[in-house]
Amino acid sequence: MSRLTRRAFMGTAAAAAASTGLRPSIVTAAPSPADRTLKLGLASYSTRKFTLDQTLGMAKTLGVTSMTFKDVHIPRTDTPEATHALRAKIVAAGITIMGGGTITLPNDAAEIRKNFEYAKAAGFPLIFTSPDPAALDTIEKMAKEYDIKVAIHNHGPEDKWWPRPQDAYAAVKSRDSRLGLCIDVGHTLRTGTDPVAACRECKERLYDMHVKDLAVKTDRDSQVAVGRGLIDFPALFRALLEIGYQGQVGLEYEIHEDDPLPGMIESLAYERGVLAALRNT
């Protein structure tokens, strides 16, 4: 296992084909059996410039069957009936809805309830949030009432409340088990925190994950396709397997927003290669 490095997987045929511009239909293949060990999915923020129908088409090309959704695709301003219709469309496309967000939750009980009602209508078992710390008592109460998990999303050095996963973990570890974390590995790295160590340290409350890669560990604008940057994904995936992580490993591909598909194909091909290698090592 000590010889397993990030660069060992960059030669996968799918990643190479994606990086040279081949059509997505050429590089798409049935997911590896290793995909069953971790839920490799997609955060729909990756396709924020595209409609829900276009997003579901990309998910089919990518071969993903689990997703979390941004409100650009399931609007929070819709009626419950319209939200139910979008939910049915997603399920009919073969996608398991893993959650939604990021939703900023202020210290306002009425606003918090409104967002829990939205999550209920959308079929979210989990919402990832950036909550006002003063709102946690109300959030905890409503998480119990609606039986919906709430995962605090860390946003790096600029985040005055939750820069690191450990900051969120300290706030929820003694609360109801429905309160937990959505670890963003890119933002975690930018704080000087090891994402692998953070996952192990916060494992009891790790419910969701956003994955991306950075070429410069302190620069949020240095994002690259997964496997081309500094994050040690073999070590990360090994840790997730060892702690029995059950949530989604959601690709949040924030660059090339007008044409994200080639980079998403390469990123998921790399992730699948890592999992396959880990399984066979």
Measured CA to CA, the distance from residue 208 to residue 151 in angstroms comes to 7
pTM of the model: 0.86
Predicted confidence at residue 214, as pLDDT, reads 98
Whole-angstrom Cα Rg for the chain? 18
The confidence score (pLDDT) of residue 196 equals 98
Cβ-Cβ contacts under 8 Å for 254 (sequence gap 6 or more): 45, 46, 212, 223
Domains and CATH numbers, the chain: 46-279 (3.20.20.150)
Quote the pLDDT of residue 31: 44
3-state secondary structure of 128: strand
The whole-angstrom separation of Cα 87 and Cα 28 is 26
Predicted confidence at residue 57, as pLDDT, reads: 98
DSSP H or E stretch at residue 102: strand 96-105
Compute the distance between CA of residue 146 and CA of residue 116 in angstroms, rounded to an integer: 7
For the four alpha carbons of 48, 43, 126 and 73, in that order, the dihedral sign comes to: positive
Residues of the chain with pLDDT under 70: 1-36
Four-point Cα dihedral 28, 34, 36, 42, nearest 10: -50
The whole-number pLDDT of residue 43 equals: 98
* Residue 280 confidence (pLDDT): 80
